Structure 1
Amino acid sequence: MIAKDLRRLSKLYVKVLALQLPPPHTEYMAEAMLFISGSAGCVKQKQLVDFMEVDRRSLMPMLKQLLDMGYLLAEEDPACNNEHLFSLAENGKKVMPQIYEAVSAAEKIMEEKLGEPGLSAFKKGMVQIEVSLKSKVLGYEFKKP
């Protein structure tokens, strides 16, 4: 089953990444901070939920941890009372080079085995699979019981 292979590959990639990430050493932290860093201005919770393909209840504890660590800033969204806008705090900006380096090092390990064309083809294939699968689940929202 391909899901098992993808899950196993993902876990190995995350372990390699975590070795070089700043605390709390999670790929979710890195993914959220990379997304926020690459966005112009503030990012809404809903944007992070959609981008990371997680439900809000899973995302909020991680965001709280990043706020507590001083990596993120949050402000109430004036357009929606129960929504927040997130941006990188100074501490978050300081660790971004470490996050970029961790991602680069993990990809370099894969590139050593696959070569640059192979890694590029792998990434393109992953995007094609993602687009195909997303088209089949439009409108479906995963909710934890």
Structure 2
Amino acid sequence: MDEVLAWIGTLPFALAIRRSATLYIFVNAAHILSFGIIIGAILPLDLRLLGLARAVPVAVVGPYLSHAAAVGVALTIATGFCLFSVNPLEYASNPAFLTKMTLLAVGVVNAGLLHLTPQWRAAIKGGPLTLRVRLSAVLSLMIWTGAVVAGRWIGFLLE
């Protein structure tokens, strides 16, 4: 595994980011903005699924915010991999990084499983917000909040 991690550190974009403080700053900023897209889409969607802003139809905001969050996840993974590549051996042993990666995976699985259910399909067609949908929203709020906290914690645990 160490060989794979070391190889990641030799990729051309890893070397470019490591050699340029400016490039690192821009990739880091893009990563933070990407995570902002996720939170900016997921938080209002989850709160709506939990019953807030009832005047806003889930059928209108659900698909839009779900797609926005998916774009945010894709951008976060891409920019995060670039940042990871700068020092993969150190990040791979960082408990906060590992926690963030676990939460990211669980958050994506939670959203994916929800979107596969008939309850979600009914909700985005104007149907009822079932217990399954609401529980997924509560779980989502906890997961993504935890991922933000873990992400901020990474820098404090780097050796």
TM bracket, shorter-chain basis? 0.3 to 0.5
Name the structure with the higher strand share.
1
TM-score (norm 1): 0.34
> Larger C-alpha radius of gyration, 1 or 2?
2
Name the structure with the higher helix share.
2
Task: Select the structure with the greater relative contact order (CA < 8 A; seq sep ≥ 6).
Answer: 2
